[in-house]
């Protein structure tokens, strides 16, 4: 069971892809959130520490004075033991005191609102140490004047990093838990959703192989459609099955009649002592058995043609040559019966493109024989074969009584006869029809300009393009 | 190992170098000895396998540690320079790649170096298991435990009875201040790092500290820069009370002089700790890490406990000469300076000026204030 062919794997694959995508976004968001939360929490510390220092800034001896509260520094060093830096600058940015001289933060907040504390915070680097720097600008009011100053404090990021990791780990475990739960629910859900398929398979497998009854098991909508399609197929198969049974019944009936005739004739002859009678009887029996064997042959070929597994070997054939051969073959029989069999070939020499189709030679020969035979049998005096180019086809015209339009489709069924001709098998036109179907050709019965019936075989125009013209098997 | 020890000769060379001028002796609290450089050479001197230490720790205390280390790692040549704390600090900042290990009792200064990123992080199991309150970030390690004590001369106890703490001392000074004129000696916080460090700590611990300073001023107390100087005067009998001496340095002198007596106050006792750090730019970082593991390991700590009065800090080293023993005896009174950013506050310029001005005011209100910015870091 490869992945591409398994519904289960396909569904699971898509769901997992979705889960992976969403999970990725959630993980990224969780990381950003954790970072933001940690920064916010620790920035509060920076804010409080700068405030604690700013409150201790005094104006003394005409200069800024600071009694540095150690707690302000302690505040910034949490369990992570961050490095702490601070410095105090006057309004002009000159260094007053501190353990290092910290840089000023961006110029956009250039002390625009004097009197108010302004606290800003940002990331920076000091000697390769990543620091978070908070600056507070404040003023102290003395009698004559008011002095601005700036407290800058920074610490390293270990504590923030630890908090971020801690928060992120917690979010991650939630996300992973949810993912695990989702996957297990997916697994169960897909299995449940696909369970009716298993039921259908089991129902099909457990069926009596001989029955063609429709399936009735209850299925979800999507599979109910499949069940209906299956039932359609079964219905068609039932029809085909019935047709076949009828055919077999007809066929055995057809063969039983001549066999019964033979028995009756032989019995009758045996009652006589006259050899002349026997001779007549034998002659009649020979005729009957010849006819029966021909009928058996036709039944066989019809069965063969109707077999859906049958794939004819298609070869390029020249229709003109086929018609020519058929005329040659039947000419003597027709001549003896006083029938004029002719070929109406449209000047084959001038025609640059011969009417080539792909087909099985023996089948097409059989079809033409049947058509000539049929015309002959139904009292035609003139039979003419001709080929056409547009559309590609072969025609058999006669001047017999023809077939009424209403019956033209019915005569194509096996064992259907118009006249009660004892010689006819009722299979000739059915065989031609089957051959036409095997060649994707149209078999059309119409009125002939010569007064009788025109039987036409029109082949599809889009024949496989082959440059075979003269070296076809029938180009004799 | 035996092969190595037999073929390696332990060379103990003591160089006598010119002493730095007295003017430099602002922060220092090292006992003045003639020897300022100690070299222990490996036999195989061709290989450059060295270890350079700078310390504010007197030769007599560091020698047992270095010798033991050398015995164990004879292939490493050791150079130890004994420097004043400020000189040590300054020299390191000028050339941080000249030295592997810095040892100093000036905790704020050491802390500042580590805070500024001059120290490298030690990740050995020994360094990691070091007590949390005695280290900062795996970078700065306190490895001794030295209480700050009072030393009194027998003369005093014979006259005025036993002293047991600050209140006794204050009452004594109030009652007999004139009799004790010039008989008291203590650190000058303006010129001594240790003195300044003690003063700022005590001022925070007790508001009555200023009463004491004022009483000292009334009794015309003498101000010196080193424990050794105080001990000298006490031994000679010039002083009867020494206030704020390093216990580790006082102990051998007191043991040698029955006239003297150490008093550890009951209410609170400051504790100084020597700290060691490995320079980020250490030229022999591998050897430096080996030495730190030795110093903080049980072997080194046992040597500190048994052969020096410095006080071993290792939690598994107990008994005499260990921090555990001192804690057992004095319990809650011990106030070791925590390795926290608060140490940076003590180094703040303005704070230093403010404290020294206050001190001066309390000590001698009549005298004009002394400008003390000369020794600002």
Q: Judge whether A214 lies within some domain.
A: no
Same domain, A14 and A130: yes
**Are A96 and B348 inside 8 Å of each other by CB?**
no
- CATH code at A45? 3.30.450
Q: pLDDT-derived band of residue A466, with 50, 70 and 90 as boundaries?
A: very low
Which residues on neighbouring strands pair with residue B35, listed in sequence order? B16
In this structure, are residues A118 and A109 in contact, taking their beta carbons and an 8 Å threshold? yes
Same domain, A292 and A331: no
- CATH code at A285? 1.10.287.130
Same domain, A257 and A392: no
By residue range, what is the domain housing residue A341? 315-458
- Residues A178-198 have a mean pLDDT of 90
pLDDT digits (tens, 9 = 90+) for A189-206: 988 988 888 888 888 888
In terms of C-beta density within 10 A (0-12 exposed, 13-18 middle, 19 or more buried), how is residue A395 classed?
buried
Q: Judge whether A206 lies within some domain.
A: no
Q: Check residue A170 and give its pLDDT.
A: 94
Burial B225-262 (b: 16+ CB within 10 A, else e): bbbbbbbbbbbeeebbbbbbbbbbbbbebbeeeeebbb
Residues in chain B whose Cβ is within 8 Å of chain A: 112, 115-117, 136-137, 340-342, 344-351, 354
- ipTM beyond cut 0.85: no
Any idea which fold B2-144+273-331 has?
D-Maltodextrin-Binding Protein; domain 2 (3.40.190)
Instruction: For residues B42 and B70, give the distance between their C-alpha atoms in angstroms, rounded to a whole number.
Output: 8
φ, ψ at A321 (rounded to 5°)? -65, -40
- Residues A75-85 have a mean pLDDT of 89
Tell me the pairing of strands B184-187 and B241-246. parallel
Instruction: For residues A148 and A67, give the distance between their C-alpha atoms in angstroms, rounded to a whole number.
Output: 17
Per-domain boundaries in chain B: 2-144+273-331, 146-271+347-375
Q: Which tokens is A341 given? A: 């069999």
Q: B148: helix, coil or strand?
A: strand
Instruction: For residues B83 and B38, give the distance between their C-alpha atoms in angstroms, rounded to a whole number.
Output: 12
CATH no. for B146-271+347-375: 3.40.190.10
Tally of domains within chain A: 3
Q: Check residue B191 and give its pLDDT.
A: 83
A111 has pLDDT over 60:
no
Average pLDDT, chain A: 83
Cβ-Cβ contacts under 8 Å, B351 against chain A:
66-68
φ, ψ at B351 (rounded to 5°)? -65, -40
Question: Strands, E, within A175-250: which ranges?
Answer: none
- Choose the weakest-confidence range: A179-183, A207-211, A236-240, B357-361: A207-211
Q: Judge whether A26 lies within some domain.
A: yes
Q: Judge whether A140 lies within some domain.
A: yes
Q: pLDDT-derived band of residue A349, with 50, 70 and 90 as boundaries?
A: low
Burial A129-139 (b: 16+ CB within 10 A, else e): eebbbbbbbbb
Same domain, A374 and A449: yes
Q: Judge whether A436 lies within some domain.
A: yes
Q: Check residue B20 and give its pLDDT.
A: 38
Do B2-144+273-331 and B146-271+347-375 share a fold?
Answer: yes
Q: Check residue B367 and give its pLDDT.
A: 55
Same domain, A329 and A367: yes
pLDDT digits (tens, 9 = 90+) for A246-293: 888 878 887 888 888 889 888 888 888 888 888 888 888 898 888 888
In the block, residue with structure tokens 């459609």: A225
Q: Check residue B323 and give its pLDDT.
A: 80
Burial A147-172 (b: 16+ CB within 10 A, else e): bbbbbbbbbbbbbbeebbeebbeebb
Size of interface A-B (CB pairs under 8 A): 56
Which residues have C-beta within 8 Å of that of residue A396, sequence separation ≥ 6?
A368, A371, A372, A375, A383, A384, A385, A454, A455, A456
Same domain, A117 and A49: yes
pLDDT tens per residue across all 377 residues of chain B: 444 333 333 333 333 333 333 333 333 333 333 458 888 887 665 667 889 999 988 888 899 999 999 999 988 999 999 887 878 888 998 988 899 999 998 889 999 999 999 999 999 999 999 998 899 999 999 999 999 999 999 888 888 888 888 888 898 888 887 888 889 999 998 888 788 889 998 998 888 899 999 999 989 999 988 888 899 999 999 999 999 999 888 988 898 999 899 998 888 899 989 999 999 999 999 999 999 999 999 999 999 998 888 888 888 888 777 888 888 888 778 888 888 898 999 889 888 888 999 999 999 876 554 444 434 33
Chain A: residue whose CA lies nearest to B355: A67
% of chain A exceeding 70 in pLDDT: 89
pLDDT digits (tens, 9 = 90+) for A41-59: 999 999 999 999 999 998 8
Question: Residue A351 to residues A50, A319, A465, A474, B110: CA-CA distances in angstroms?
Answer: 108, 13, 18, 18, 114
A346 has pLDDT over 80:
no
- Best probe of the B interface among A81, A102, A159, by most B CBs < 10 A, is A81
**Are A71 and B344 inside 8 Å of each other by CB?**
no
Instruction: For residues A210 and A224, give the distance between their C-alpha atoms in angstroms, rounded to a whole number.
Output: 23
Q: Judge whether A277 lies within some domain.
A: yes
Residue A147: which H helix or E strand, with range?
A: strand A146-156
pLDDT digits (tens, 9 = 90+) for A429-439: 888 888 888 88
Q: Check residue A314 and give its pLDDT.
A: 78
Query: Who among B116, B117, B350 is closest to A68 (CB)?
Result: B350
Question: Residue B130 to residues B110, B243, B292: CA-CA distances in angstroms?
Answer: 18, 32, 11
**Are B346 and A65 inside 8 Å of each other by CB?**
no
Q: Check residue B283 and give its pLDDT.
A: 92
Q: pLDDT-derived band of residue A425, with 50, 70 and 90 as boundaries?
A: low
Query: Who among B117, B347, B351 is closest to A83 (CB)?
Result: B117
Residues in chain A whose Cβ is within 8 Å of chain B: 65-74, 76-77, 81, 83-86, 96-100, 127-129
In terms of C-beta density within 10 A (0-12 exposed, 13-18 middle, 19 or more buried), how is residue B162 classed?
exposed
Same domain, A407 and A427: yes
- Best probe of the A interface among B141, B277, B345, B373, by most A CBs < 10 A, is B345
- Best probe of the A interface among B115, B120, B377, by most A CBs < 10 A, is B115
Q: Where does a domain end: A141, A165, A189?
A: A165
Chain A: residue whose CA lies nearest to B140: A81
Q: Where does a domain end: A123, A138, A165?
A: A165
A339 has pLDDT over 90:
no
**Are B112 and A66 inside 8 Å of each other by CB?**
no
- Choose the weakest-confidence range: A153-157, A394-398, A419-423, A451-455: A419-423
Same domain, A229 and A347: no
Same domain, A371 and A263: no
Same domain, A11 and A131: yes
Q: Check residue A374 and give its pLDDT.
A: 83
Q: Judge whether A183 lies within some domain.
A: no
Same domain, A302 and A340: no
Q: Which tokens is B205 given? A: 């611990």
Q: Judge whether A201 lies within some domain.
A: no
């Amino acid at each position: 069971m490869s992945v591409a062919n398994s519904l289960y794997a396909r569904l699971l694959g898509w769901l997992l892809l979705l889960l992976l995508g969403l999970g990725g976004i959630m993980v990224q968001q969780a990381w950003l959130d954790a970072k933001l939360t940690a920064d916010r929490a620790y920035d509060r510390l920076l804010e409080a520490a700068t405030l604690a220092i700013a409150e201790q800034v005094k104006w003394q001896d005409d200069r800024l004075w600071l009694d540095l509260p150690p707690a302000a520094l302690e505040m910034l060093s949490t369990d992570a033991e961050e490095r702490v830096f601070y410095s105090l600058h006057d309004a002009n940015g000159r260094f007053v005191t501190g353990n290092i001289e910290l840089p000023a933060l961006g110029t956009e907040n250039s002390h625009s609102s004097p009197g108010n504390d302004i606290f800003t915070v940002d990331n920076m680097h000091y000697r390769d140490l990543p620091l978070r720097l908070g600056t507070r600008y404040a003023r102290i009011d003395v009698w004559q004047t008011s002095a601005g100053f700036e407290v800058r404090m920074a610490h390293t990021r270990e504590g923030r990093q630890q908090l971020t990791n801690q928060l992120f780990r917690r979010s991650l475990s939630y996300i992973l838990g949810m993912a695990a739960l989702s996957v297990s629910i997916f697994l169960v859900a897909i299995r449940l959703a696909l369970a009716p398929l298993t039921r259908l398979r089991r129902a099909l497998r457990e069926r009596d192989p001989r029955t063609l009854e429709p399936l009735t098991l209850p299925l979800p909508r999507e599979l109910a459609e499949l069940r209906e399609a299956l039932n359609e197929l079964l219905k068609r198969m039932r029809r085909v099955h019935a047709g076949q049974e009828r055919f077999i019944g007809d066929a055995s009936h057809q063969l039983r009649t001549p066999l019964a005739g033979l028995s009756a004739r032989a019995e009758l002859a045996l009652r006589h002592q006259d050899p002349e009678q026997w001779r007549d009887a034998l002659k009649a029996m020979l005729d009957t058995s010849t006819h029966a064997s021909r009928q058996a042959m036709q039944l066989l070929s019809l069965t063969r043609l109707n077999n859906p597994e049958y794939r004819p070997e298609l070869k390029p054939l020249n229709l003109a040559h086929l018609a020519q051969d058929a005329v040659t073959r039947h000419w003597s029989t027709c001549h003896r019966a006083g029938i004029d069999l002719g070929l109406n070939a449209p000047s084959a020499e001038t025609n640059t493109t011969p009417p080539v189709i792909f087909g099985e030679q023996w089948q097409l020969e059989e079809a033409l024989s049947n058509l000539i035979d049929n015309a002959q049998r139904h009292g035609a005096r003139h039979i003419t074969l001709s080929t056409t180019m547009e559309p590609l086809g072969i025609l058999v015209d006669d001047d017999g009584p023809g077939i009424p339009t209403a019956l033209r489709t019915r005569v194509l069924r096996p064992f259907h006869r118009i006249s009660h001709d004892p010689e006819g098998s009722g299979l000739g036109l059915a065989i031609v029809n089957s051959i036409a179907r095997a060649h994707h050709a149209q078999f059309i019965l119409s009125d002939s300009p010569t007064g009788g019936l025109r039987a036409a075989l029109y082949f599809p125009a889009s024949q496989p393009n082959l440059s075979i013209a003269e070296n076809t098997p029938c180009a004799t | 190992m035996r092969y190595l020890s037999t073929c390696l000769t332990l060379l103990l060379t003591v160089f006598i170098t010119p002493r730095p001028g007295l003017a430099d002796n602002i922060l220092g609290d090292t006992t003045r000895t003639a020897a300022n450089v100690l070299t222990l050479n490996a036999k195989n001197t061709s290989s450059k396998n060295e270890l350079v230490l700078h310390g504010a720790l007197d030769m007599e205390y560091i020698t047992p540690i270095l010798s033991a280390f050398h015995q164990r790692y004879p292939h490493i040549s050791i150079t130890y320079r004994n420097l004043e704390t400020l000189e040590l600090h300054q020299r390191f900042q000028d050339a941080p790649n000249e030295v592997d290990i810095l040892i100093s009792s000036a905790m704020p200064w050491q802390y500042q170096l580590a805070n500024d990123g001059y120290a490298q992080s030690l990740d050995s199991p020994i360094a990691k298991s070091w007590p949390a309150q005695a280290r900062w970030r795996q970078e700065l390690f306190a490895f001794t435990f030295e209480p700050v004590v009072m030393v009194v001369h027998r003369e005093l106890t014979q006259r005025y009875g036993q002293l047991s703490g600050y209140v006794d001392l204050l009452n004594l000074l109030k009652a007999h201040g004139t009799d004790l004129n010039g008989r008291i000696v203590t650190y000058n916080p303006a010129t001594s790092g240790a003195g300044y460090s003690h003063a700022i700590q005590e001022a925070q611990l007790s508001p009555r500290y200023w009463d004491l300073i004022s009483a000292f001023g009334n009794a015309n107390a003498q101000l010196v820069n080193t424990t050794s100087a105080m001990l000298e005067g006490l031994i000679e009998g010039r002083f009867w009370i020494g206030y704020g001496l390093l216990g580790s340095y006082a102990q051998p002198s007191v043991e040698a002089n029955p006239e003297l007596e150490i008093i550890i106050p009951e209410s609170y006792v400051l504790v100084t700790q020597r700290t060691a750090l490995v320079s980020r730019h250490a030229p022999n970082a591998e050897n430096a890490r080996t030495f730190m593991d030795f110093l903080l390991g049980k072997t080194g700590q046992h040597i500190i406990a048994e052969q020096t009065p410095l006080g071993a800090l290792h939690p598994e080293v107990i008994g005499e000469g260990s921090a555990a023993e001192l804690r057992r005896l004095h319990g809650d009174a011990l106030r070791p300076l925590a390795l926290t950013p608060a140490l940076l506050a003590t180094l703040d310029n303005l704070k230093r000026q403010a404290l020294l001005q206050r001190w001066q005011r309390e000590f001698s209100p009549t005298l004009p204030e002394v400008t003390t910015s000369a020794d600002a870091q």
